[in-house]
Amino acid sequence: MDRRRFLGRVGVAGVAVGAPLALAGCLDEDHDVAMTADGFVPDEITVPVGGTVVWENTSTRTHTVTAYEGGIPDDAAYFASGGYADEETAREEWLDDFGGKLENGDRFAHTFEVPGRYDYVCIPHEDGGMYATVHVEE
């Protein structure tokens, strides 16, 4: 993608993590979870409280990272690519205009402040089993 498209997308998503590396053209290795053609790799990852997970779409398909609102700790912050405040909005925005989409080379990052289990999904590939889990430990 070109630089202006990337910056625009970061502006919409409100996610700046990885931008300097992306602008330098180093898109290959700086992620924790890859979004391949058909799944999140790895599909389970464990980070400490305060840890940040960076997702990157390493495929040519369009994906999302969308938390299951009922699949995260009660007092945890909701997260979704696109920066949506809840799952319902994330799904509506996806259906409306592919809101929250992550295309090849796009990244999304979230910092986990509350311990527990976080289940999340790629909205367009939910039926294909594209969901995964982040474990956050004290």
Using CB under 5 A, list all residues that contact Cu ion.
63, 122, 125, 130
- Nearest approach, Cβ of residue 131 and Cu ion (Å): 10
Nearer to Cu ion, 26 or 41 (CB): 41
Report the chain's terminal Cα–Cα distance, integer Å: 38
Nearer to Cu ion, 130 or 134 (CB): 130
- Nearest approach, Cβ of residue 122 and Cu ion (Å): 3
Q: How far is CA 130 from CA 10, 24, 117, in A?
A: 24, 30, 17
Nearer to Cu ion, 63 or 91 (CB): 63
**Euclidean distance between CA atoms 128 and 4, whole angstroms:** 32
Number of other residues whose CB lies within 10 A of the CB of residue 137: 11
- Nearest approach, Cβ of residue 124 and Cu ion (Å): 5
